[in-house]
Structure 1
């Protein structure tokens, strides 16, 4: 019943677009500048009969790139240095070569928006002055420095591996979220972090941008990548997107970033003000929480419902066939050990971005508690009871439904409850791939250093976990025969 309710809520929450509407979806990465540019693109004038939506905070470069290639999104802001070195594997390629390579994939690229957001390394001005560090080369003489780098920069071909080799740096950096790195630098926990040169925090924290004296970093001109079929589907909007070229310089972009990150404005309002249009009406906190609750219930309910369909028969099979049961328990146990974020990302090629891969990953994580408890509940029934039922001549199916499952019901429901509570927490990671839910405000709060936003997702998630646990306990009480409840007490 609980599963049916949350599935119904999820279906009811799905947006229904007019039948004639042509959808255009803009994506953005999980950092402020990308979200602002995504809001700018979504707010551009467009053709009649076209709906433009923005899916913000979809994760890192590779996730957005794959989503664009597979048609899950139609455009997103990118940087030429990233495109050449990381995505097209063409280091140093110029715009013409990149456009030719994109054309082969059915993609296009606008001209530069007017600014370059280049990677750099930075320190507080006081710390750099104390050590006499002015360039990246100077870091080689200070192996004791603590370096913290964004996780993507740690792995990228144009990131730390290349910088380390080009400059012969001896340090071993730690990976962390880009926005958290600034707080580490300000507190003295870190000495050096990677920067985006249009970050609002650079002047705010009075940072020194270290000179790239060996000219390692390429130019990272901001552009939009888009699917070329937009020319047929939304020509006016595509023309407006291409018309952004040259209109945003670096000081302007840094100011827009500051309005969001330092002054607390929303990305949508900042983008609307720059475009000169009315800002969209902001949803109240209650409306936002309700929307995220329905999304979260959908992720948990659908994945749990699918897991029940698969895991209950597997648990019965494992109990009836001991040798096969060991294999089933081993495989489901191995699935449980896989890192959750990795599983979410692994599912993207199969289901695209959004709720699909999140539901698939949560389904896998739901299997073990249900299979294990079903197996344990059935194998834990006293042999005398099973032998008595067989002696009465009851067929195996009748014994299963009338005797064994009712006796094992408490154990089975405990497994389902465990799976549901685990899914409530794990589902917050779905926001990294555009699945929504309570993870969305948590990610935004971390990015914007806004405790209120973090609590807007964390508190309802904790409350939902308690409600789910209590709900299953009531269901267990209601479904357990009164005689079995009395026997359990004694």
Structure 2
């Protein structure tokens, strides 16, 4: 143990990007902190670099693993690869800092199948100049990074037009001969497994990416001291072996991290393994339902009164419905990203996005249901001396209720599916299984999240069928 019981009651939030090595390194940090008395909250699957960085800057996480090359070019926008001291000097104004590196560099690289490399005589990145027909698939982040494809293509005069792929799926595309070149991390376990060739960076374009702990300066000094124990403890081959253990030996991040800490004698005992997935599945299902029903309730409180107002004032109805419908055209992940600068990561932006998606079916069905009531009935109600409020309460709302409930039902099913994307911004839920499974190209993990989400959607459909039957006026049954 590095720190005694003085650390008790201290809370540290550890973040992680959604790729294999990020999970492992974050879990190593988390278990090391827990072994030294800290309480750790885990916020994994935090999208790309800028999502993690902004979460750290806002204090939504306290520490996550990062790389010196990424810090130099992406976060600090430097013209060259900076040393640890130079990075810390520039980060000081933001009250952020990095520790000394873990001991390995995970640089970017381009990889190709060994057979294709031998057939085409491609061993260096510059050799791709002679093969403009080469099919290239690259991770979305690499396509847009300063140290990514755009500047790499300029440096090497490469004319190919790459397609974007999720990093974990690119290896499958290589194996299935759908692409011939992809970007990789030099410590990826798939490189050896799939007999891939790492192309020589003959112009030295890629900088060193030394892995390290990236943290807030106000992180408890005791926690900083604990994390310093990771300095120069991981070799490139050890990191590649840990990645491969998760990908191909079917070990989870917790097992691999615990084994590493025990082997390095950084903890007395490896973390206890919980072999049952049921408790974790129940927790994630509970979070998923909470996100869905909070957003649904908020949408009902806004959409149904708005539909009534539009019914009473039909002139602006078309424009309001167009505006609400426009929200449905924004891709879910983009809408979530839009909220991050405003609300940060976590459940708040997830609920906000789901709320907006739920508005259209509720507003439209409320308005359409009220508009579709037989005019004769409305005239009879007026002739009986009912005012606007009485007509709405006693006649129009009861008759429109089947339409309104149908709108709520549609919104609920949409929300259950869309809520899986909330995992990308640290909101949790069943999407965590899906996002992690995509990163690992692990179908069983994807299904662990997808099947319960589908079951929830079916259960909600059945629940609303019952509610609609109960709420339907007797004379309509």
Residues 171, 48 of structure 1: alpha-carbon distance in 2 compared, 3 angstrom cutoff? closer
Equivalent residues, number: 463
Mapped pair 1:440 → 2:432: yes
Pick closer, same or farther for the CA change 1:148–1:270 going to 2, 3 Å.
same
1:335-376, CA deviations, whole angstroms, 9 ceiling, x for partnerless residues? Answer: 111111000111112222121111110000000000000000
Q: Distance in 1 between matches of 2:17 and 2:38?
A: 23
Q: Is 2:375 the partner of 1:380? A: no
Q: Give the Cα separation in 1 of the matches to 2:140 and 2:115.
A: 26
1:209-248 aligned within 5 A: 209-230=198-219, 234-248=220-234
Query: 2:320: which partner in 1?
Result: 328
Choose which of 64, 68, 72 in structure 2 pairs with 1:76: 64
Aligned-partner Cα distance in 1 for 2:55–2:138: 25
Partner of 1:147: 136
Deviation by residue 1:259-291 (Cα, 9 ceiling, x = unmatched): 111101111111111111322332523223222
Q: What is the deviation of 1:162?
A: 0.6
State the alpha-carbon separation in 1 of the partners of residues 440 and 159 from structure 2.
32
Q: Select which of 239, 242, 255 maps to 1:253.
A: 239
Q: CA deviation at 1:47?
A: 9.3
C-alpha contact (below 8 Å) 1:67/1:73 kept by paired residues: yes
Residue 55 of structure 1 aligns with which residue?
A: 43
Give the secondary structure class of the aligned counterpart of 1:457: helix
CA contact (8 A) 2:106 2:209 kept: yes
Distance of 2:231 and 2:410 partners within structure 1? 52
Match of 1:414 in 2: 406
Aligned pairs for 1:297-308 within 5 A: 297-308=289-300
Structure 1 residue 53, shift from structure 2 partner: 2.3
By how many angstroms is 1:50 displaced?
3.7
Q: CA deviation at 1:46?
A: 5.8
* Contact 2:255-2:273 at 8 Å conserved across structures: no
Q: CA deviation at 1:458?
A: 1.0
The answer for the alignment partner of 2:55 in structure 1 is 67
User: Can you list the C-alpha shifts for 1:424-452, whole angstroms capped at 9, x where unaligned?
Assistant: 11111111111111111112222223222
Partners of 2:238 and 2:177 in 1: CA distance: 30
Find the aligned partners of 2:300 and 2:339 in 1 and give their Cα distance.
20
**CA 1:46–1:459 in 2, change beyond 3 Å: closer, same or farther?**
closer
What TM-score comes out, normalization by structure 1 length? 0.92
The 3-state SS of whatever aligns with 1:323 is coil
Structure 1 stretches of 4+ with a deviation exceeding 6 A read: none
* 8 Å CA contact retained: 1:45, 1:236: no
**Cα displacement (A) at 1:417:** 0.3
**Residue 49 of structure 1: CA displacement?**
6.8
Paired with 1:216 and 1:245, the residues of 2 have a C-alpha distance of 26
Following the alignment from structure 1 to structure 2, what is the Cα–Cα distance between the partners of residues 100 and 325? 56
1:427 aligns with one of 416, 419, 425: 419
Paired with 1:275 and 1:285, the residues of 2 have a C-alpha distance of 23
Contact in 2 for aligned 1:47/1:237 (Cα 8 Å): no
- Contact 1:46/1:236 (8 A) holds in 2: no
Return the offset for 1:292. Answer: 1.8
Matched residue of 1:223: which SS? strand
Please, which of 118, 123, 135 is the counterpart of residue 129 of structure 1?
Answer: 118
Offset of 1:45 from its aligned partner?
4.1
Unaligned runs of 5+ in 2: 1-7, 263-268
SS in 2 for 1:104: helix
1:269 aligns with 2:255: yes
Aligned to 1:480: 472
8 Å CA contact retained: 1:347, 1:357: yes
8 Å contact from structure 2 (residues 33, 40) kept in 1:
no
Q: How big is each residue's C-alpha offset from its partner over 1:452-486, in whole Å with a ceiling of 9 and x where there is no partner?
A: 2111111111111111011111101001121122x
For structure 1, the residue ranges without an aligned partner over 5 or more in a row are: 1-19, 486-490
1:91 aligned onto 2:79: yes
SS at structure 1 position matched to 2:192: helix
Distance of 1:52 and 1:278 partners within structure 2: 16
Whether the 8 Å contact between 1:307 and 1:363 is mirrored in structure 2 is yes
Cross-structure match for 2:361? 369
Question: Secondary structure, in 3 states, of the residue corresponding to 1:212?
Answer: coil
Deviations along 1:187-238, one digit per CA (max 9) or x if unpaired, are 11110010100001111111111011111111111111101111xxx32221
Give TM-score scaled by structure 2 length. Answer: 0.95
Q: Deviations over 1:88-147 (max 9, x none)?
A: 111313322211111100101111110100001010111101000010100011011100
